[in-house]
Amino acid sequence: MILTVTLNTALDLTYRVRSLRPHASHRVSEVIERPGGKGVNVARVLAALGHEVTVTGFAGGGTGRAIRDRLADVPRLTDALVPVAGATRRTIAIVDELAGDTTQLNEPGPHIAPTEWGTFLDRYEELLPSASAVALCGSLPPGVPVGAYANLVRSARAHGVFVVLDTSGEPLRRGVAARPGLIKPNADELAELTGSHEPLRATQDARRRGAQAVVASLGAQGLLAVTPEGRWRATPPARIPGNPTGAGDSAVAGLLSGLVEQLPWPDRLSRAVALSAATVRAPAAGEFDPAVYEELRGRVTVTGVVSAA
């Protein structure tokens, strides 16, 4: 079983409009509603790939109930979310069909009381012994300690469970110091962590700060990986137009699935890039276009990286 942790779950709403214009009224052509938050998106992609996955984190209010109702329909996915008094947030993605761009609006999430945080920690410790790997994903809701991910990384390592950390800012900085097995920042998050805007140099620095392996997401340019086994660059065959929301989460799912299947790093990276691109073509985060995925898997270019120069 793969465990994903989403402390700030969300009900994802995707609106499609012909053209997004400031200060104007818009007619929405399509509305899509899905359970979300980064770790939930990762879990849904893993389940679609055929892996048994358990989702934990928090869910509360009407939006929390809506998330749990929809997760109940996902094969191979187990709901272990912890109920809270506050209402789970919503995230809104507005897709501009003419420009091919997406505007994202993210609510902050409910305040988590100390007793609710304690209940989650108990649940997490109960789930770890059955986990083959754990993904710690996304932002922290109000009330959760800023060092939460660092503590969760240490707990997983104490159980011998491989940890993927995908967050940003101070939670990432503290989490890296706890020595997770893998972090998956984007270029901006990596630069904020290390102070360097040169991707390879920044990725190597992130490893020195504690991460055993670093896979940096470079958007349309693919992934850059620095690991104990080597360094690689994985790039898609072409820029894929569509909605990029959740593409990074699908990359995490690809890396995790490759890990538990014991694939070599180049195969993990090609799977992650193909899934990420296939998610751009899907209608909502946490999903991917199977035809695009299968078509791209053999066309991702993975090359070794020699130096930071």
State the DSSP string of the chain: -EEEEETT-EEEEEEEES---TTS---EEEEEEEEESHHHHHHHHHHHTT--EEEEEEE-HHHHHHHHHHHTTSTTEEE-PEE-SSPPEEEEEEEETTTTEEEEEE---PPPPHHHHHHHHHHHHHHGGG-SEEEEESPPPTTS-TTHHHHHHHHHHHTT-EEEEE--HHHHHHHHHT--SEE--BHHHHHHHHS--SHHHHHHHHHHTT-S-EEEE-GGG-EEEEETTEEEEEE-SS---S--TTHHHHHHHHHHHHHHTT--HHHHHHHHHHHHHHHHTSSSTT---HHHHHHHHTT-EEEE-----
Say whether 267 is catalytic.
no
Which is the catalytic residue, given 12, 79, 249, 289? 249
Please identify every residue annotated as catalytic.
249
